[in-house]
Amino acid sequence: MKPYKKIIRFSINRNSGGADYDAHIDEALNKKIKDSSYEVIDVKNLELLPRLLAIILFWFRAQYILFFGKINIAIVSPAMMLIIPKKVSVISIAHHYDPSVFKGIKRLYIRIYHWFFIKQKKRVNTVVSCSKYWSNFYREKGFKNTITIHNGFNIQSMDRSIVSLNNNSVLKRYNLERNQYLHLGKFAVGKGQKKVFNSLRDLGLPMIATSPAKISKFNEANEVRVINAGYDEYNILLKNAKAVVCMSELKEGWCRVLHEAAIHGTLILGSGVAGMKELLEIGGFKSSTIDSLRNDLLSIQHEGSLSNDKVKLYRSFNLEKFNFAWQRCVNELLNSKD
């Protein structure tokens, strides 16, 4: 009889595309790997503490578990700067790296943890990224096994969102009209939303961004409205936008919000930075620049929505494929150690 295997994922992601990706990993692996247990150690369990203190305590707990917890596989992020014992197999989730859009201590922290991650490359069995761009990036950095597992989307849940609430009532609540506003993605540093506003303001279209956190304004002039949208409202706002425009300055891993918009058939435009380029190319879209953005929008808006063929391509990124890819990744690593 094979000994029982222990798999632990350590998590510090919050409200981001990375957090969505992590939640889907949990669904894929929980009780799905034969002769093994799966557990998540999450910094959110310490969320009543100040963020910095919570991360410090989380780090010490993670180190203790790694050295004394008798685990077989650790699934980690480079940002954790964990010291990995040789007895533990490691899957590292590395979606992107770009300190340039941050300032001060955060920029320094990102540089340090990434340097530390690269220095431990011999200890990492597999690097998983959500785009080919970053898989190639880490392969060139010398990691021995880099694989791409694209984002998976719960298509049925997204479709249910559109009919779960009255679309007109949601739009009226935010003083919006169908196909008469632009969605600039999720609010975050490095997303280029202010530059998009300055480029397209003369079109006279309201511009919004969404956030799961309560943010009252985007900048001092409150030029772009940031809407605290729940899951159903978020999908409705994507579905009914004239276009979703994500001109990230940050080197993206992918861009979930653009992909989600395309699943709903909404027109998309993006900067194509890093992993986002692969996402755009699926639908035959070219990357935009701030200088070309206005003309690019005007050239596609006559279409009204994406073609059925393009929507079908984007909807093929489902959870079934995602689950299979992650289960295979973990099983292959477990079997290699038998």
pLDDT in tens, 190-244: 999 999 999 999 999 999 999 866 554 444 445 789 999 999 999 999 999 999 9
d(CA 130, CA 148): 5
The CA-based dihedral angle spanning residues 167, 171, 174, 178, taken in that order and rounded to the nearest 10 degrees: 150
Q: What pLDDT score does 2 carry?
A: 61
Does 45 have pLDDT greater than 70?
no
In the chain, the domains with their CATH numbers are: 5-152+319-336 (3.40.50.2000), 155-315 (3.40.50.2000)
Where residue 189 falls among pLDDT bands split at 50, 70, 90?
Answer: confident
Percent pLDDT > 70 in the chain is: 93
**Containing H/E element for 19?**
helix 17-29
Residue from 219, 106, 118, 237 nearest 183 by CA: 237
Q: What pLDDT score does 3 carry?
A: 66
Q: What pLDDT score does 214 carry?
A: 55
In this structure, are residues 267 and 305 in contact, taking their beta carbons and an 8 Å threshold? yes
pLDDT in tens, 249-271: 999 999 999 999 999 999 999 99
